[in-house]
Structure 1
Amino acid sequence: MTEAASTWRPVVRDYLDSLRAAGRRPLTIRLHEHYLRHLQRYARDPFNLNIGNLERALTVRRDWTPETIRSAASVFRGFTKWMHARGLIPTDPGLLLPAVRVPAGVARPIPDPILDMLLSAHPPGRSRWLLLLGGHCGLRVAEMAQVSTRNLDGDLLFVVGKGGKERIVPVLDADLQAAIRSGGGYLFPGRADGHLSAGYVSKLLSELLPEHWTAHTLRHRAGTAAYRGTRDILAVGRLLGHAKPETTMRYIQLPADALYAVARAAA
């Protein structure tokens, strides 16, 4: 254990205990722990936190989207507020952190680090399948509820979406493929015509996800990641089951390098 880790560990332990005492969700607590572990790399001593090392921790990762930065900043503010209230630091540097601006009316994808953390925490099983179907395949909750063996052909899943429109969604995770194929019926059996209801799937995801993130933000993540990797708005719309590219654009958070690429092309 490094000297910095040994200094941070008891403080973080007590802070997480305070979150548990306040009734915060286990996954929310894991999220706080995740971002505080990141902060430790830029602030060796939790008793000497300042605006400089807080901002450094928020800006050093060039791959973080505004949503990820806002999520981390919220954790930092909660932690420094708790530290100050307990008399562990003389002032609260978190108060000096500027508000993180996220463009209004655009996609709100769950940040990749959060989804990766959730997937690493859940072995093969119902919870993991829901996260993959939403965050990687872009399915709606009603579509997740009706995933069935009979709708899988190889690695292609036939999905019936809004208005009875059918589309094809590749399922690339081998374990998820095997689970759908071996079920002999619905992947999520239940009482709604043999499968779980959309409402119950939404409830399960709300329990799985940290606060402020929803099943729909998983779908936004799938659209954003797909566009980031392909820049093909029509193909992304086909994946998500949209009839118009204007609808798809509301699901995509524009990659940070896109405007630079456009500017370079125009120069």
Structure 2
Amino acid sequence: MVAPPLAEVALDWCHAKSVTAASTSGNSDKARRTDLARWGRAIKTSRGEIIDEELLHSLEHDLDGLTTRDLSSESLLRALDLLKRSYSPSTLQRQLSSVRGFCRWLATKGLIDTNPFDDEVLQVRGRTEQAVRAFTPDDVTAMIEAAGEPSKRARSAWPARDEALIDLLAATGTRNGECVALRIGDIGGADRPVLHIQRGTKSGRVREVPLAKHTVDRLDKYLAERGERGLAATGRESLFIRNDGRDFTTDALYHLVKRLAQAASAHLPDDALVHGLRHHFGLQLAMRGVPPATLQQLMGHQDPRTTSIYTRHASFDLINALDDAGWLS
């Protein structure tokens, strides 16, 4: 039997997943495609092929020349070792989940004889501790300060906007795609200000997050400056825009956070930068004793097991703090 091209069956799997997905944002489909492309590139690299790392990941390019026979446990183990060097544990877990689901589907369809993840060695090596890569409170403060005093070389800087943006990300746990989809009218609330997060969500679930006074103050300052610049500021307009009035994109947001993190000497892996502010929000709430069910709602998690990552990590931090204080001696 001729082994089918990997790119072809990967596209079929992604299409099947997107058809049955609960979310309609397309973010999950994009993540699955990128994950499989990264596995393909890692498999090729582990075999000694020369890869142009500047090229964007794509199923068609990164899986070109590979077949289902290349999904052996040995080749996946070599690829896994490479991926571990480049990505944070949380991203690696998602990549493992994607390729594990893909292999399970291939086995169900009879396109591979055995599922490589049935190999006990791959199961053990695939388990990594899901660390929460979060910016610390000091990191967030330093990033906001860096936003207020940008370098002269940062031509895209807008201090009031950048301060408000970092504050909002750290104080609401908004994801990258959710942030760029926000509109001015999403800030509301009768008794106290809340942020309505309803577009670009990962699970398709709408949620409301109360806004702290310092976040509201920075947003008000930014929107006042925006009006002074003659840029539209009605409820239907995007909340965050670039200096020329164009909407923010996820790439523009990533580069802004990266610039401010570097200026503040706050270090996280490149793939965890924007999410590091979301993790900051979840971890700080968990450490303050916010009930798991409430934390799950504020974070927009579909599965409570995802939320438990923050509560576990917060418990470790509290134990370490007590130990450092000599309380547990």
Query: TM-score under structure 2 normalisation?
Result: 0.43
Unaligned runs of 5+ in 2: 1-127, 149-158, 225-232, 323-329
Q: CA deviation at 1:116?
A: 1.7
Say if 1:260 and 1:150 are closer, same or farther in 2 by CA, change over 3 A. Answer: closer
Q: CA deviation at 1:110?
A: 1.0
Residue identity matched to 1:146: A
Kept in 2: contact 1:151–1:159 (CA 8 A): yes
Determine if the alignment matches structure 1 residue 209 to structure 2 residue 268.
no
Q: CA deviation at 1:218?
A: 0.9
Residue identity matched to 1:117: A
What's the % identity of the aligned pairs? 21
Residue identity matched to 1:106: A
Match of 2:207, SS state, is strand
Kept in 1: contact 2:241–2:247 (CA 8 A): yes
Match of 2:288, SS state, is helix
Root-mean-square deviation (Å): 3.0
Match of 2:132, SS state, is coil
What are the superposed Cα offsets for residues 103-152 of structure 1, whole Å, 9 maximum, x if unpaired? 93121211222212222333361221221122111100111112222111
Say if 1:180 and 1:232 are closer, same or farther in 2 by CA, change over 3 A. Answer: farther
Determine if the alignment matches structure 1 residue 136 to structure 2 residue 171.
yes
Alpha-carbon distance in structure 1 between the residues aligned to 2:147 and 2:321: 37
Determine if the alignment matches structure 1 residue 108 to structure 2 residue 133.
yes
Kept in 2: contact 1:152–1:181 (CA 8 A): no
Determine if the alignment matches structure 1 residue 197 to structure 2 residue 258.
no
Q: Which residue does the alignment assign to 1:63? A: none
Determine if the alignment matches structure 1 residue 176 to structure 2 residue 218.
yes
Determine if the alignment matches structure 1 residue 156 to structure 2 residue 194.
yes
Say if 1:234 and 1:241 are closer, same or farther in 2 by CA, change over 3 A. Answer: same
Match of 1:107, SS state, is coil
Kept in 2: contact 1:158–1:169 (CA 8 A): yes
Alpha-carbon distance in structure 2 between the residues aligned to 1:139 and 1:222: 9
Q: CA deviation at 1:167?
A: 0.6
Say if 1:104 and 1:163 are closer, same or farther in 2 by CA, change over 3 A. Answer: closer
Alpha-carbon distance in structure 1 between the residues aligned to 2:162 and 2:310: 23
Say if 1:178 and 1:144 are closer, same or farther in 2 by CA, change over 3 A. Answer: same
Alpha-carbon distance in structure 2 between the residues aligned to 1:207 and 1:108: 18
Aligned length: 158
Residue identity matched to 2:268: H
Residue identity matched to 1:178: D
Q: Which residue does the alignment assign to 1:254? A: 314
Kept in 2: contact 1:152–1:180 (CA 8 A): no
Larger radius of gyration: 2
